Chains A and B, each alone.
Chain A
């Protein structure tokens, strides 16, 4: 307890970013595409060395509070990406271009951490008929382009309840 003030603890010094270490080992094993002891060893070395080398670029880590919720969110987005594909494909094939109700909408943000906002913007782009395009100067609103949105307010409400509320519970 006494060493905590000036000295970094063992795990802070050698494992500055445990989640990144795990991700690196998994990505390395996926890249190898076979499971060997040597491959796992190299992966573990990379998983330890790379986070230490890059720790200067991670001044503040996004505090993920709920990993279970994060997994549930990933599955929800995966499902929505499939729906988005079918939806956009139908619009392209069967909807005359002049009948599309394209519009810009503004999504006021409740999320505060840049990581959470980035994730929300990415999710919006991958899901039905919306592409996130810009942030307001103070970073508190998101500009979203809709391919076919009959009702702007409903589109904003969808994004806020379906994605932002869930991300808020993961990050805050």
Chain B
């Protein structure tokens, strides 16, 4: 393996580590749950990405084979990170009903789905939202 290749791989690993560290640091430094959520969803994607590109280059240089596992890992990461973040945000809204006061208005006739349950009641037979049955 040439010196330049080693240097590039080393730099990528260090960069990946640095971004992972910043993501973790964000968890400590940021003040509340919603802002903390930003750190691991973003700063760490480049952290993992750096390590994955380094891994691809390393196996290309040592075995002379193109390793493509890593592309799959980043695809799965991109699919799961937003879903996890969304679930954590939803759980936060559910557990802290007083957050609703701080939310921006929906701009629609209804509220945010975590708090506005009316369509669920409307679809259940025998329970009308205005209580007009009987």
| Residue ranges of A at the interface with B (Cβ–Cβ < 8 Å) | 27, 30-31, 33-34, 81-82, 84-89, 92-93, 97-98, 100, 102-106, 108, 121-126, 128-129, 131-141, 143, 145, 147, 152
CA A30 to CA B111, docked complex, whole Å: 44
Which of A82, A85, A88, A133 is the one whose CB lies under 8 Å from B86? A133
CA A15 to CA B42, docked complex, whole Å: 37
Check if B61 is an interface residue, CB within 8 A of chain A. no
Majority secondary structure of chain B interface residues (helix, strand, loop or mixed):
helix
Closest B residue to A30 using CB positions? B72
Residues 44-90 (chain B) with a chain A CB within 8 angstroms: 45-46, 65, 67-69, 71-72, 78-79, 81-83, 85-86, 89-90
Determine if A106 and B107 form an interchain contact, defined as CB atoms under 8 angstroms apart.
yes
Comparing B4-12, B114-122, B124-132, the segment that makes contact with chain A is B114-122
Which residues does chain A contribute within 8 Å of B71, judged by CB atoms?
30
* Known A85-B43, A122-B83, A131-B41; contact A92-B25, beta-carbon cutoff 8 A: yes
CA A123 to CA B79, docked complex, whole Å: 10
CA A70 to CA B65, docked complex, whole Å: 30
Cβ of A136 to closest chain B Cβ, rounded Å: 4
Determine if A143 and B112 form an interchain contact, defined as CB atoms under 8 angstroms apart.
yes
Which residues does chain A contribute within 8 Å of B26, judged by CB atoms?
88, 92
Determine if B19 and A85 form an interchain contact, defined as CB atoms under 8 angstroms apart.
yes
CA A86 to CA B23, docked complex, whole Å: 11
Which residues does chain B contribute within 8 Å of A31, judged by CB atoms?
69, 72
Determine if A33 and B104 form an interchain contact, defined as CB atoms under 8 angstroms apart.
no
